[in-house]
């Protein structure tokens, strides 16, 4: 009974069991001590009548307690230890414990991987948000109309200088293409053609 209570970690029941055993053993010790005293009284070794207080001075009371309760507890602990050792040497229990340990290690690794995955998902979401923001900025860049006119005018004047040095047939065609492109860019930017 001690072994089962210890194995199942039922310490309250274990304590109650030990107290019950001690009480029962004390009752036996009292009765045995009383019978020994009465036997000595019958034989004539003692003259004094038996009373309850005599158990505290009688060594037989403590011997019975020791022989009963203390030996019971010691043997219970030895039995518990032997049963634990037998369980440790049992190949089935050993295999089960080993597998449980492997499962615990794998679950720990799984939890670590899930945490890494969660962190990577957060990073992916953060980077995707940055990409979306940058894409929006690139697609919706607002240029000041005056700056756009200035840049287009500078480009066009440089281009016209370049094509002015060309012979006449390609020169006219390139000038017309330049003016057409200039008008398209202004229209796409929503600006008036000057």
Tokens of 99: 């597998």
Query: At residue 143, does pLDDT exceed 70?
Result: no
Residues 6 or more apart in contact with residue 22 via CB below 8 angstroms = 65, 69
What is the structure's pLDDT at 145? 66
Q: Which comes out higher in pLDDT, residue 142 or 115? A: 115
> Would you list the domain boundaries of the chain?
2-89, 142-188
Among 88, 16, 30, CA closest to 63: 30
In whole angstroms, what is the distance from residue 73 CA to residue 138 CA?
Answer: 83
Distance between first and last Cα of the chain: 105
Looking at 44-144, list the stretches that DSSP marks H as alpha helix, in order from N- to C-terminal side: 59-65, 71-89, 91-139
User: Using one digit for the tens of pLDDT, what is the confidence trace for 85-141?
Assistant: 777 776 777 778 889 999 999 999 999 999 999 999 999 999 999 998 888 776 666
């Amino acid at each position: 009974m001690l072994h089962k209570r210890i194995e199942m970690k039922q310490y309250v029941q274990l304590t109650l069991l030990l107290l019950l055993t001690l009480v029962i053993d004390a009752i036996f010790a009292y009765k045995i001590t009383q019978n020994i005293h009465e036997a000595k009284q019958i034989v004539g070794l003692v003259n004094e009548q038996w009373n309850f207080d005599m158990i505290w001075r009688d060594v037989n009371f403590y011997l019975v307690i020791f022989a009963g309760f203390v030996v019971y507890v010691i043997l219970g602990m030895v039995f518990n230890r032997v049963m634990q050792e037998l369980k440790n040497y049992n190949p089935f229990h050993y295999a089960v414990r080993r597998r449980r340990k492997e499962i615990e290690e794998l679950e720990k690794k799984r939890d670590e991987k899930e945490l890494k995955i969660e962190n990577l998902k957060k990073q992916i979401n953060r980077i995707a948000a940055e990409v979306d923001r940058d894409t929006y900025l690139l697609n919706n860049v607002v240029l000041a109309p005056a700056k756009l006119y200035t840049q287009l005018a500078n480009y066009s004047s440089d281009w016209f200088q370049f094509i002015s040095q060309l012979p006449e047939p390609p020169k006219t065609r390139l000038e017309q293409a330049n003016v057409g492109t200039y008008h398209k860019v202004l229209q796409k930017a929503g600006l008036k053609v000057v």
